[in-house]
Structure 1
Amino acid sequence: VTIMNDLLDRFDDLCNATECEKIATIGDAYCCVAGLPLPRKDHAFCCIEMGLAMCRIMKRFNLIHHENLKIRVGAHCGTVIAAIIGKTRFRYDIYSRDVSLANQMESTGRSGRLHVTEAMMVQASKIYNFGIGEEIEFYGQQIKTYYVDPRSSYLRRKHERFGSEQVTYRRHQFETVSSSSDMNNNYNTLFTADSALRNMLVLDSANSDEFINNDLRHAHDQPMSLKPLSLNGHKIGLNFLERSSFEFDLIEKTCVYLKTHEDKDLFGLGYSFKDNELEWHYQRHAAFHKEQIDIDSFKIAPVLDSVMMAVATTTMGIHFCNFKKHFLDKTDASQQWVDFGTMIAVIAASWSISFMFYLVGKLYKSDLHSSGHYRRFYSIMAIPLVRQILHFLALSCNFVFLFRMYQVDTLSKKNFLLKGYFTSVLMNISCYIAIMPTYCDILVRFVGLLVILAMSFILRFYYSRDKSELITPMKNIVYSTCTNKNEDLLRLQPSPYLVLFDFIQPIIITLMIEYINRSSFIIKRDANIALDDVKQIQEDTERLLGNVLPNFLLDSLLQKMYMGTEDITLNFAENVETSAVAFILINDLFKYSDEDMGSLLDALKVMNHVVCSFDKMLPKYPLVEKIKTTGQFYMLAAGFNKETEFEECLEQLLDFCFVILQKLEPIARQIGYNDPELNLQIGINTGQISTGIIGATKPLYDIWGDTVNIASRMCTNCPLGEIQVTSMVYDRLSNNSKYKLVKRGKIGIKGKGLMETYLCYLMGGQDQSTSSSSSSGRSNT
């Protein structure tokens, strides 16, 4: 697997250089396509250059590492349809008869040569030299084939360069998976090695292949002590060689939110938002936000309002009583009762409004859903206009006493100073009422203070003996003097300039408070939006990881990510001593599809429906793990569970295969597909496999090994509607009374020669050994 990872990394770089699109790695096979996802006229050129360069890389790799690896490359031009099918472990793939033909070109080609069809040769005949190959049979048709002359490679003549920089080495380290005594004995560490992702060097004009030689020799001589490619981002996801674009977008957007919140569209004296939706969210936040913090102005403001209004009104009522008792002439009894009733009514109204605001502050912390009456009351009080009206009425209660004082005509000279004192006290109390609460709107405060300021000027004008005092010298800006003819004393009287200062100051403070509140709201709102984006990205990442990795591996990976105590590498591999692998071929779906896109789409819809139906049934078999779908193959494996006996895993795999055999026809009928030739071929093998993720681009969880290759051959050589197993599976099930194994005989397996195979049936099911006897001599060609 180490060697294969090294080669796949080089092929990934080569894909970028030749502008091909990598589709997938399928076991020890590498699939790429030119002309996708965007069509291009030179797709044949790109594909041929990719194939020829792969042969050259393999040749030099064998020379440097003293290996004897062989590579066959097949290529074909035609029509494909790209799609993502299935519900789990889905991936981008291509489908059509032409894909199957390209696959057959690879399997029937010569080692170290690029094997192409006549269609490919016609596309590139003016660029490359071709040699005649053997004819092959494909769905009953004879296909002419050719071999591309490697010396006619265009990139080889023009000093090919793979990679963006001349000498840059990208390396990453496989994860070392330690095994302990409490873990499954089936798992052993396969390797701890480094693999280089190398950018190809500029070719020497004398020998264009020397760049591969130099590159591999340099890598061979270097010590393998490289940093692991780790996961960064804290619960964000895998870091595939470089930071993902969505991370940069998220960081940039967050910085913009924090830097430009002051530039939000605000207007008016109270910094109201121009955006009606944003203003609505702010008001909702002020009324219903239930976040528990140490001091929340929106929670404490109603209580402060109630306390301040009640104390101010009661104090003014007491002063009013003392004023009438000691400084006003006697009035008739009816007028006194009117004054007394007015005072009681004003105090009662003020206390009632104060109690309403107190209730708002109390209900804010309680469960509003516990009572419908409380919820309706709070909803009404949360309306900004209602709050503004109540605040204005509360401020107006104090004005009633002031107006009543002005209505008294019998004032003595000594009363004048006391009235000025009362007026000053009233103005300051009113100012404090406007400043302290942050719950009311700026407009209410502005109107209330404007009324107080106007009354101060009227009072000063009405009770001045000399109207010229309205324009006082600078020495009387703060304090103005008034001399009593009967008493030669210095009298103090509130100046309108002092009142003007008291008016401007709370307005400025209120504006600052409002600006801070709204700025804080914008920052928190944008931060919450960014946090929601991060959470959504995290959930999407975990779902994508669940599509790439099996559950047992995903749980371990996420645990390491959340704890942040270990470095997690992107590439890794494990050795599983005992496992079961099954290949399921959905037979002949694309047999009659040609270049007509409509027929390809119809076949793909059937394929997708069948695969999705299989995926829906998989959760009933928790010990069976779907590996992937590739082309018309559905690939499964079992034996990864650390706490279950392998025989139980194998039984679940067989049970699933029998179920899909029985339900294939009903599944096809659900979408109106009644082709009697639609059937399954299933091949199963057991043994040692390697699992993991390799490659530099489009990494997906996969399994490799001789066990996988034999399971694939069992599938392709299996009779229709049967389950074919090897002698290793037979040994495992020979004492199992649940299944019946019928000896099929020896068949030819590519790369293995003759192998003993068996057909598996459920005990008590229909014995189909007779029907399959005619296929016992079928072998691979």
Structure 2
Amino acid sequence: MVRPHWVAAVVVSLLVSVLSMAALVFTQSRYYTANYVKVSLATVVVLCTASLSVFAPIVYERGDDSAVHILSVGAFSLCILVLMITYALLPMPLYLVVAVCSAYSILFEVLSALLIPTLTGTVVAVRVLLQLCVHLVGLHTRVMTEIGMRNTFFKVGQSLMVRRDLEVEKQLKEKMIHSVMPPKVAEWLMTNVEEDDTSSEQPRKPSTSPRPSQMIFRPFNMHRIENVSILFADIVGFTQMSANKSAEHLVGLLNDLFGRFDYLCNKLGCEKISTLGDCYYCVSGCPEPRPDHARCCVEMGLAMIRAIAEFDEDTNESVNMRVGVHTGTVLCGIVGTKRFKFDVWSNDVSYANKMESTGRPGRVHVSDTSHAFLIDHYYMEEGPMDLNRKTYFIRGRKPTAFDKAQQMASRHSWPHTIGFTETAKTIDTRKVSCPAHQPGDIEEEEVAPMLPPVHRHSSLSTLNSSRKDSGIRSRQSSIQDTLLDTPTPLYAQRASGYCSSYTSVADTGRSSGSSLRGYSIFVDPALMLNESLSRLRHLRKQSDLQMIRCIQQDSCTMDYFIRPPVNPVTLFFNDSQMERNYRHRLHHRDLAPTMASASFTTYFDIFVALGFYLIIMFACFVLFDTPVSWLLFCLFATSVHLCIFMLCIREILATRGHWVADCLAQIYRYCTEWYPWHVVGLVLVSFPIGAIFSNFTCAGVLSTPERTNAFCYVVFVSLLHFCNFTQLNFWLRSLLATCAGIVLALLIGLPACPCPLRTPARNVTHLEIISDLGVELPGVTFHRDSYSCNQSAIYEIVLHVVLNTILVWLLNREFEISYRLSFHGSAMAARDEQRIQSMKNQADWLLHNIIPRHVAEQLKNTSKYSENHRDAGIIFASIVNFHEMYDESYEGGKEYLRVLNELVGDFDELLSKPLFRNVTKIKTIGSTFMAASGLNPKLRRENPHPFTHLFELMDFAIAMQQVIENFNQNLLEFNFVIRIGYCYGDVTAGVIGTTKLYYDIWGDAVNTASRMDSHGVPGRIQIPEHCLQVLQELYVFESRGSIYIKGKNNMNVYLLVRKKDKVLYRILPSTQRPSLTTTSTADEKEKVSPAPDEQAKGDEIEKEAKSEEELPV
């Protein structure tokens, strides 16, 4: 006959199963996300209610003590299962989990005390303590799981944000690199930088066999490329235009014009090389070969003529372009280690320069070599003979020619540069007309316009106000344009610090009515500092939302959480290196620890283990006898716990980042290694169950059903302690828990002791129990076989042991996966952060090789730079006989350039010395080295003497002479001679260009220094007369007399003899010190105006120096 309560139990079980399946299905719907707390709460209420229904059969079987004992053990085991499932698996807020579980435990124990008559007050008190242990383990696992999952979520989100930020950094770095050199050269250069960084981090092992080529020369990348067309273009009439303009105004004009040229160069398949004063030169077919290289250069020349015509109309000027094109072979690459740039060298480059200088304004002058590539595409007329070679002028395009420039002009809107606006929508199809007084006007053929028309008033007003904005209008460069074109708000949080410059560009665009895209995504750092607390909270919330969106949008994130990167069996990381790092850094002490750090997890585990052990030990002491084995075990276990506890306290109180290398610290570090920690952890996690089994005796445990039940209670709870120490391998903890369950089943089920769970065939007396225990009393004999064991009770206990063991296995597995995911997320975020930091360092390194560091900082904030400097020093140092040694018959001259690279590299190394911290390299022009001092206002203010930077520059020039001398001694086949020109005065420094950022200085002092070099004496340092008053304080000079200087007429010049011995800086009173201030053009009240004609003439010096040496740039 089936009992009614069993029917009710089956019905309740089926109902719970159906509701659980329904909740599981509901989790797959889109409504679950908004209602997951309600669903979880409903599920836990159903589970708790169903588990409390176990008291129904207890009430029904109250007359059967044996059945009541069995059901009480099962009910307590079921209570443990419900509590651990609620703590570990159900997604609810922590406070709600604690409240529900606490209420359930209280209700369960109250019902047990009222409905189970066999429970004594002592057993009830022990059950309450055991409930406390369950809550302790459950709360511990819940808190650590929450911390692990939240930390993993944050780290994964952070990693995704950093990864996207890394992509922005990569784009920025590539743009910055391409502003100096082509991608092909940049790839080689950045590879060398990464190799240098790697080698610097790892100690170099001494080589047993010296290699001849090792460290003889610096890394050198130079390629010989044939069929390359070179274009040189010079501004005709620039001298007259600059006669009545300040230096910073000229910078603004050049920046406007060169910005147009940069755009054309980028669109017409040319590679800009550099600007030399008012000269602009570029190449096509280098470094990437292309068959239409000659046409690209000619189209570039025609477009430049058109662009300067538009420039004249916009600015009411009267200048023109003289363009020369030649085709030949070049050596392309980089020379030097600081302030380098991509450049080309060859005799053909020199010849292209001559083609420009012998050309006509408004015409494109091509050589006979280029003529062979162009004859099918252009009408040409013969020009003057040059070195017995024919030359030609471009008259116009043939009708069959593909007008590439016109097509691009109709497809692309003009960039945001000075003199160009976005409102230009049509293409002007006017013919190119040159001033009437200039020969060679293009009359026969119609030349399609290269540029869209521009609004004159916008450009003119901008140029007129250039004196107030440092001569360079704030506008977006190609680097900024690339970032603005990328539709993501993450760029506002870039770590490199360029956001503020974009914001300033955005403000400029809005004020001028331009509709620039994407400015709203950038955050101004000033706002973040000055806004209210509510604004900061809003920004933080937006940042959190961005991270959530990153995780939602990343398709790999779901796989990360569903299929973690671990072995499904061992839970080891699939990446062996990651597994080694995990084991090595398992207990790594963080300088800024959080609750997710490994050290905190270790302390938490140890404190929970100690509390759990004390409660179990107290329960055993109250419920059972105290044999000697138990006392010895407790003494040992308590001593170990206290020692480890004190070690943890000592580590917690130790000063962060200052570990004392004493004995205790060494013990702690050793114990927290991977294998020792597994031994220590397994010992600690086994102490509670060991304390229980060491207290087992047949008389003390199995003498009555009440004691047997209590023994099962503490064993069931102790099995949950194997869920502690999540840093241990889950296999070891779970196997220990399985062994403990097997031991319990063996102790209860095997006949090692008399079975107390017997069927009540008759009353059992105390004497019979004594007989069952094997104790002999005089004259009394008992037979144990007269009683039969209750097999159903044994099966019940074994069933609950299996269920609890399975729960421990599942929880241990999930906890270790969660912990490993947290570590993996942190490792990935740290790796990505390291990568982005490396990218930033490379970008910064490259940027500071383009422009000085203090200039780069200002560009980050204002996106523009132009500054006046008073009394800045300038030197030009030329290797006067390098062009005599240069010979292209041997490897095309590549080895001679390798020697030049070594020499310039030695000069660059001098700049790294603190002795020359005020000296800045400007550029190299062929075999001419240009440097300046006094361009950093901060350093000048820190100098002990107002002329320190001038003295350092002269010392630097002397050091260059010493470098030449040492170089000649090391390379016996060379006897280089250096000639140096020195001058100081007022200069204007600025950064110009759109696709090619270029830092340079302008002013009469620059022109004079160049003349001091070109009209100097080989092997000597020459200065003009006005420098003598300052420099003679530390140096001895001799007069060279009055000599003719081009553009300067006659000048008194002096040659350096030597530096004075044992001289000290003569610190003048502040009232007597000469004015050596640096003023920003944004605030200046005075112009730095060069003498008439000097600025324009000086701007042509660098180009002139090239033609004098025959060796091209």
Query: Unaligned stretches of 5+ in structure 2?
Result: 1-250, 433-445, 466-472, 481-491, 503-516, 519-546, 766-791, 1061-1103, 1109-1113
Aligned to 1:654: 954
Post-superposition Cα deviations, 1:127-170, rounded to whole Å, max 9, x if no partner, equal 4444444455xxxxx36352422424789872623758735243
Aligned to 1:236: 496
CA distance in 1, matches of 2:1059, 2:567: 83
TM alignment of 1:655-694, pairs within 5 A: 655-675=955-975, 678-694=976-992
CA distance in 2, matches of 1:43, 1:238: 36
Q: Is the 8 A contact 1:693 1:702 kept in 2?
A: yes
Post-superposition Cα deviations, 1:739-767, rounded to whole Å, max 9, x if no partner, equal 333224224x2xx37443524223699xx
CA distance in 1, matches of 2:706, 2:797: 14
Judging by fraction of residues, say which structure has more strand. Answer: 1
2:862 to 538, 544, 568: 568
CA distance in 1, matches of 2:400, 2:1016: 43
2:897 to 601, 604, 610: 604
Post-superposition Cα deviations, 1:406-465, rounded to whole Å, max 9, x if no partner, equal 7638998xx331332232232133124223443433223312332343345445545899
CA distance in 2, matches of 1:595, 1:486: 119
TM alignment of 1:228-377, pairs within 5 A: 228-229=475-476, 233-236=493-496, 260-262=559-561, 263-268=563-568, 271-290=571-590, 291-294=592-595, 296-309=600-613, 311-313=615-617, 315-316=619-620, 319-321=623-625, 339-340=627-628, 342-355=629-642, 357-358=644-645, 361-362=648-649, 365=652, 366=654, 370-371=660-661, 373-374=663-664, 377=667
CA distance in 2, matches of 1:121, 1:634: 35
One-letter code aligned to 2:594: I
Q: CA deviation at 1:316?
A: 3.0
Aligned to 1:440: 728
1:531 equivalenced with 2:769 (yes/no): no
Q: How many residues align?
A: 692
Aligned to 2:348: 98
Q: Is the 8 A contact 1:267 1:273 kept in 2?
A: yes
Judging by fraction of residues, say which structure has more helix. Answer: 2
One-letter code aligned to 1:738: V
1:631 equivalenced with 2:926 (yes/no): yes
Q: Secondary structure at the match of 1:271?
A: coil
Q: More deviation in 719-728 or 33-42?
A: 719-728
Aligned to 2:812: 510
Aligned to 1:381: 671
CA-based RMSD of the aligned residues comes to 4.5
Aligned to 1:86: 336
Q: Secondary structure at the match of 2:361?
A: coil
1:160 equivalenced with 2:405 (yes/no): yes
Cα–Cα, structure 1 residues 679 and 201, in superposed 2: closer, same or farther, change >3 Å?
A: farther
Q: More deviation in 705-714 or 11-20?
A: 705-714
Q: CA deviation at 1:634?
A: 0.9
Q: Is the 8 A contact 1:49 1:153 kept in 2?
A: no
Q: Is the 8 A contact 1:270 1:514 kept in 2?
A: no
CA distance in 2, matches of 1:235, 1:285: 27
CA distance in 2, matches of 1:270, 1:682: 72
Aligned to 1:76: 326
Q: More deviation in 645-654 or 397-406?
A: 397-406
Q: CA deviation at 1:21?
A: 0.9
Q: Is the 8 A contact 2:378 2:398 kept in 1?
A: yes
CA distance in 2, matches of 1:35, 1:638: 37
One-letter code aligned to 1:266: V
Query: Unaligned stretches of 5+ in structure 1?
Result: 137-141, 173-192, 244-249, 323-338, 470-479, 562-566, 766-777
CA distance in 2, matches of 1:197, 1:689: 34
Cα–Cα, structure 1 residues 363 and 410, in superposed 2: closer, same or farther, change >3 Å?
A: closer
Q: Is the 8 A contact 2:647 2:664 kept in 1?
A: no
TM-score normalised per structure 1: 0.76
CA distance in 1, matches of 2:961, 2:818: 68
Q: CA deviation at 1:67?
A: 0.7
Cα–Cα, structure 1 residues 115 and 495, in superposed 2: closer, same or farther, change >3 Å?
A: same
Cα–Cα, structure 1 residues 120 and 590, in superposed 2: closer, same or farther, change >3 Å?
A: farther
One-letter code aligned to 2:866: A
Q: CA deviation at 1:11?
A: 0.9
Q: More deviation in 609-618 or 572-581?
A: 572-581
CA distance in 2, matches of 1:578, 1:196: 38
Structure with bigger RCO (C-alpha 8 Å, 6+ apart): 2
One-letter code aligned to 1:170: P
Cα–Cα, structure 1 residues 61 and 286, in superposed 2: closer, same or farther, change >3 Å?
A: same
CA distance in 2, matches of 1:547, 1:454: 72
Q: Is the 8 A contact 1:74 1:109 kept in 2?
A: yes
Aligned to 2:29: none
Aligned to 1:30: 280
Cα–Cα, structure 1 residues 683 and 395, in superposed 2: closer, same or farther, change >3 Å?
A: closer
Q: CA deviation at 1:94?
A: 1.9
One-letter code aligned to 1:584: A
Q: Secondary structure at the match of 1:273?
A: coil
Cα–Cα, structure 1 residues 61 and 718, in superposed 2: closer, same or farther, change >3 Å?
A: same
CA distance in 2, matches of 1:252, 1:605: 49
Cα–Cα, structure 1 residues 103 and 404, in superposed 2: closer, same or farther, change >3 Å?
A: closer
Aligned to 1:587: 880
Q: Is the 8 A contact 1:257 1:526 kept in 2?
A: no
Cα–Cα, structure 1 residues 648 and 584, in superposed 2: closer, same or farther, change >3 Å?
A: same
Cα–Cα, structure 1 residues 662 and 352, in superposed 2: closer, same or farther, change >3 Å?
A: closer
One-letter code aligned to 1:444: L
1:170 to 390, 415, 423: 415
Aligned to 1:326: none
Q: More deviation in 491-500 or 349-358?
A: 491-500
One-letter code aligned to 2:672: A
Q: Is the 8 A contact 2:584 2:674 kept in 1?
A: no
CA distance in 1, matches of 2:410, 2:558: 37
Q: CA deviation at 1:694?
A: 1.0
CA distance in 2, matches of 1:452, 1:347: 18
Aligned to 2:705: 417
Q: More deviation in 56-65 or 215-224?
A: 215-224
Q: More deviation in 198-207 or 4-13?
A: 198-207
TM alignment of 1:455-494, pairs within 5 A: 455-458=743-746, 461=749, 485-486=762-763
CA distance in 2, matches of 1:638, 1:402: 82
One-letter code aligned to 1:216: V
Q: Is the 8 A contact 2:623 2:707 kept in 1?
A: no
Identity rate of aligned residues, in percent?
22
One-letter code aligned to 2:829: A
Post-superposition Cα deviations, 1:474-494, rounded to whole Å, max 9, x if no partner, equal xxxxxx997685499xx9997
Aligned to 2:1001: 703
One-letter code aligned to 2:257: L
Q: CA deviation at 1:284?
A: 2.3
Aligned to 2:201: none
TM alignment of 1:174-213, pairs within 5 A: 204=429, 211=449
Q: Is the 8 A contact 1:317 1:401 kept in 2?
A: no
Cα–Cα, structure 1 residues 410 and 581, in superposed 2: closer, same or farther, change >3 Å?
A: closer
